[in-house]
Chain A
Amino acid sequence: MSQLEVEDLEVYYETEEGPAQAVDGVSFELEEGENLGIVGESGCGKTTLAKAIIGILPDAGYINNGSINFKGDDLTEMSGPERRRLKWEEISMIAQSAMNSLDPVYTIREQIVEAIETHRPGTGRVESDEIVTEMFELVGLDPERADDYPHQFSGGMRQRAMIAMALALEPSLMLADEPTTALDVIMQDQILKRMGSIQEEINSSMLVITHDVSVVAETCDRVIVMYAGKIAEEGPVEEIFNRPYHPYTIGLKRAFPNIRKSSQDLLSIAGYPPELVDPPQGCRFAARCPMATDKCREEEPEAHYENGLRSYCHYADEIDTELRPYADDSDTWSQTAAATDGGVEE
């Protein structure tokens, strides 16, 4: 049994136009100690997925269908108090822009101690202080600065303090939503390394959510590429980067400049992801895909399994045998851009 098993999960948001299908039929498993990355453009459902797992969906959001099994229990059927116990103790989250979510009127120590005492009533002050010291050392902060207020920390230090807080109860699953996006490269590097070593120490597994494919390439064992609420492709990080079958994965990977390659053309995937209230039938990527055919616009692709990858594309086989050079050529994509006129409205 995997630590986490998400099955056919549908998370919708109530909107005036009807339910927005932010996560639509997502299934995956996460083993103990494993690092799983989730990448995709803004709005494809990454944060929603994480919020559903930890149980902090906003009022408009609800689980429409599916299950989230964590260590054998279905979280979607748990009572409120049971879920709250799990949160932080078993599953913790480093939220997007976490560094701005510390409370300015309390010291960092007060905030961490408060979190510990809420979840482990009976923990003495001495023990809580020890945890604070230990966690500060783990994330590379000077424990003497635990009594500072958030504004006395730089952005990178605040981000590390949030990580310290997320780790304080040694959760077995960490959800990290864009943990380093707001930081510069040096700080990003420091934090990613810290998270890696801490994880080994407390043997937790981690879901790393990011739009930056290089962060995933360096920190994860496996990756899920999401597009418009669905999984486009999933598999081991080497396979996803070296021999993906899904055109979206190929495009996304080439949209990022690589410091090791000087003259590689950046590829631009023209247009925007589709509306999620009334998503198109067939493959959701069809409107932007240079390989799309009528079949793509009509039939939803089934999973194609090969080389440890799960790829939702009708033409996964052909991409492997003959279409790969075509899909990996930036001209292919700019022609699609011209055809769709690029200036598609949001």
Chain B
Amino acid sequence: MSGKEALLEVDGLKKHFKVNQGWIASLMESFGSGEPDYVHAVDGVSFELREGETLGLAGESGCGKTTTGMSLVKLHEPTAGDIIYDDQRLSEATDAEIKKFRQNAQMIFQDPFESLNPRMTVYDTVAEPLRIHDIPNETARVQRALEFAELLPAEHYFDQYPHELSGGQRQRVAIARALVLDPDFIVADEPVSMLDVSLRAGVLSLLDRMTDEFGLSVVYISHDLSLLRHMCDRLAIMYMGKIVEKGPTDQIIENPQHPYTQALINAVPVPDPGVGRDRVELQGEVGDVIDIPTGCRFKNRCSEYIGDVCDQVVPPLEQKTEFEQDVACHLYESAAGYDPYEEMSGSPSAAETGDGAESTPADD
């Protein structure tokens, strides 16, 4: 899969949400007292989505996966950063170009019960995007999309309403709706987590066919790593709004390097009682994304914490010398020669108060 061209580039994407927007908070703000708080849902994320690839986005609940996905399809305006599509920075794009982008970027949501309008028939649900984008040959396109989604015979479903369908069929309608505009890429947010086993495998193989037959690129969001391993070419692991590890799926699953990725993979139960796993438990919960800690965001839960450098310097996501994937952790040597300890000595208090043994550069 490597070597394929990038379809989309995400560059330093941030999405912050203002919180405490109750009337007291806004009153205080209007009197100039009290700063609004921000949830740093996505806080500087960069990656590329290649043509025809499936990229998995994983991490604990609340780490920013959905917000990233929604920003990718322009359901959120980024607070900072940009998306580059077709050599075009979206921040500089014209309305017409944005409209074209929206046509090519589609999203499938977790809950097919909520994402479909209960008062719209299957036909209208799938046809609506065509109407919005003034695309001709409506009936033929709707028919083809339903057929691809294996709702057969398609006409049989035209006049049905969501409540008349099973969960799996509803998710297929959502997939047909996403595909009807013939998009370049799709963001699929936990598309099968609400579905029962019997329906799950069928929808998964349908998503597989989208990439195989249409060359579609897919961003697949889930906290289910077993599933991501099955579906994705590459993975990006998120923690508190940032990517901590990114690379080929097999590399990351079999040889995870970031302490968080290691803990995450360790937590996955295995459907095989013969296989024991090393059950080191990751304590606690994701920290507060309102008050961002200094240095590494994972430091409070990290079993490998190596002292002041973790506490003070934000580890950049970068290529390391020893393995293929990119990792944001000070344990490993930067391939580009970046030295986080230099930044520490740059701050005098750090160099002097840090305990010597740990703040000298590691040279392994």
Contact = CB atoms under 8 A, between A and B. Distances in A.
Interface stretch (A101-109, A248-256, A312-320): A248-256
Contacts of A343: 150-152
A213 B137 CA distance: 46
B198 interface: yes
Contacts of A25: none
A258 B272 contact: yes
Interface stretch (B175-183, B275-283, B341-349): B275-283
**Sorted from nearest, which 10 A-B pairs have the closest CB atoms?**
A268-B201, A189-B267, A214-B269, A214-B271, A257-B230, A42-B196, A259-B226, A184-B223, A257-B226, A184-B61
Given A154-B285, A268-B201, A272-B166, A258 B270 contact: yes
Given A41-B197, A257-B229, A186 B60 contact: yes
Nearest to A334: B205
Interface string B224-260: 1111011000000000000000000110010000000
Interface of B: 60-61, 150-152, 166, 196-198, 200-202, 204-205, 223-227, 229-230, 249-250, 253, 263-275, 279, 281-282, 285
A185 B166 CA distance: 27
B230 A217 contact: no
B269 A218 contact: yes
B229 A259 contact: yes
B150 A346 contact: no
Given A184-B223, A189-B282, A266-B201, A342 B230 contact: no
B202 A259 contact: no
Nearest to A183: B61
Nearest to A43: B196
A193 interface: yes
A211 interface: yes
A341 B152 CA distance: 9
A155 interface: yes
Contacts of B202: 268, 270, 342
Interface string A259-298: 1101010111111110000000000000000000000000
B270 to A, nearest CB: 6
Contacts of A62: none
Query: Max chain A CB contacts within 10 Å: which of B205, B227, B249, B264?
Result: B205
Nearest to B279: A193
A215 interface: yes
20 contacts: A183-B61, A184-B60, A185-B269, A186-B282, A188-B269, A212-B269, A214-B271, A215-B269, A218-B270, A238-B274, A257-B229, A258-B226, A258-B271, A259-B270, A260-B270, A260-B275, A262-B250, A266-B201, A266-B230, A342-B150
A155 B273 contact: no
A207 to B, nearest CB: 18
A269 B202 CA distance: 8
* Chain A interface category by residue count: 35 or more
Given A185-B267, A187-B285, A214-B271, 12 more contacts: A41-B197, A184-B61, A185-B224, A186-B60, A189-B281, A218-B270, A241-B271, A255-B198, A262-B229, A262-B249, A266-B204, A269-B201
Contacts of A242: 273-274
A3 B196 CA distance: 32
Interface string A116-156: 00000000000000000000000000000000000000111
Nearest to A192: B269
A237 interface: yes
B269 A217 contact: yes
B250 A255 contact: no
Nearest to B204: A266
B169 to A, nearest CB: 8
A257 B273 CA distance: 15
B171 to A, nearest CB: 14
A130 B356 CA distance: 46
A220 to B, nearest CB: 9
A272 B199 CA distance: 9
Contact of B197 (A187, A237, A255, A262): A255
Given A189-B279, A269-B198, A270-B202, A257 B227 contact: yes
Contacts of B225: 185, 259
B250 A217 contact: no
A259 B268 contact: yes
Given A257-B226, A272-B166, A217 B273 contact: yes
